[in-house]
Amino acid sequence: MTRPEKPDLPGPLRTLFVTASIGSGHHQAQLAVQQALQERGVPLETRQGDAVAYLGPTERIWTVDLYAFELRYAPWLYAWFYHGTDHDRPFSLIVSFCRWVGLRGMQRDLEQTRPELVVSSYWSSVPLADTVRRRTGQSFVNALVVTDYRAHRHWIRPEAELTMVASDETARQMVARGADPAKVVVTGIPIHARFRGLIGADKAALRAKHGLRSDVPLLLVSGGGNGDYRALGPLLAELSNLGRRVQVLLLAGARGRGVKQSGGATIHHLGHTTDFPELLAASDLVVGKAGGLTVAEATALGVPMVVFGPIPGQEEHNADFLERHDAGVWVRERRDLRGTVLRALDAEEHERMSRCARAVGRPDAADRVAAALLRHLGRA
């Protein structure tokens, strides 16, 4: 009697993950997707690409360096660029530019990887990968993970076979502007599995672990990792004069380390730390910027946000998303900051906002992204 032959198991999934080293969010999203694929038992052969590293010195000056300059010194200029390029006209100079700028680096990575799948967490590498694909005849799935709650026109990429988005609203907005609904999947913004493991965690125990008080409100400052948060000084000044005692965590972007007392605020300058998920889970509020990954992480844990001084464009849309779903408040004027924080710390209001935050959170987003990718590849 002959035994039935075992079906051939698929080999390792050759994947090029392309991030963009402008802030840490795009990279963190990629790591979360890789982890989710591995947790599903998918063997991976990966290469890590970076759309910024693909640029030459002159190209970098007019893109990444200009962006950093605008955020630090001229946010009005970035706002003008963001809104001025968010149009539905058939021709976009910026998109045409991104079909060839950095081409040599992308072509090198694709030739060396010969991937079955390319996953980008920033839009510009999608048309670039497509240019190489059309020139060389390589065959791969070109996939995009959108890392904000509203997509700028540049993120609506017809070259992508699969686009994974933050929310139902994001999907509807993209489809209304011309995206193919068959190629858009609502997954949420992928975050590290550690956050899912901290849902419902004992805040008092977490604070004790990290040397923080359980009887004083804990506020975590979202200031970005590049030192370009212009509103940090005014924010800390207002938190120091709330009229009640608070603990403030200042992570990436902190100058120096240690604990400083400023008015009623005990400010912990921690710098970069791998304990961020636990510190977020221990916090009562997130205050500051509204990066897409921060919003996804905070809502997954039910931590309300008070947004102040967001980056024009994408972070303003993220703040608007939070506010419309009662998961946060966007403070437009400094004079309103203290009152808003105090109201958000009121026990009844805080519980209401936490509940609303949890309602829009997608703690399993990374696994949803992994599942969408595997379905599209026929590996589910």
- The whole-number average pLDDT for the span 119-126 is 96
- pLDDT of amino acid 255: 66
Q: Is 15 helix (H, G, I), strand (E, B) or coil?
A: strand
Residues of the chain with pLDDT > 70: what percent? 96
- The whole-number average pLDDT for the span 319-324 is 97
Helices and strands (DSSP H and E) totals, the chain: 17, 13
- pLDDT of amino acid 99: 87
- Weakest mean pLDDT among 54-63, 136-145, 158-167: 54-63
Fold identical between 13-191+364-377 and 193-360?
yes
pLDDT at residue 110 is higher than 60: yes
- The whole-number average pLDDT for the span 31-39 is 96
pLDDT at residue 79 is higher than 70: yes
- pLDDT of amino acid 9: 59
Mean pLDDT over each residue of the chain, to the nearest integer: 93
**0.85 surpassed by pTM:** yes
Exposure string (b/e) for 298-333, b if CB count within 10 Å is 16 or more?
bbbbbbbbbbbbbbbbbbbbbbbbbbebbbbbbbee
- pLDDT of amino acid 5: 52
Question: ∠ CA(368), CA(371), CA(372), 5° rounding?
Answer: 85
- The whole-number average pLDDT for the span 143-153 is 96
- Weakest mean pLDDT among 67-71, 167-171, 275-279: 67-71
The domain locations on the chain are 13-191+364-377, 193-360
- pLDDT of amino acid 254: 55
- pLDDT of amino acid 6: 45
Name the superfamily (CATH) of residues 193-360.
Glycogen Phosphorylase B; (3.40.50.2000)
- pLDDT of amino acid 23: 79
Q: Is 233 helix (H, G, I), strand (E, B) or coil?
A: helix
Residue with tokens 């962006």: 67
What CATH class has 13-191+364-377?
Answer: alpha beta
Residues of the chain with pLDDT > 90: what percent? 84
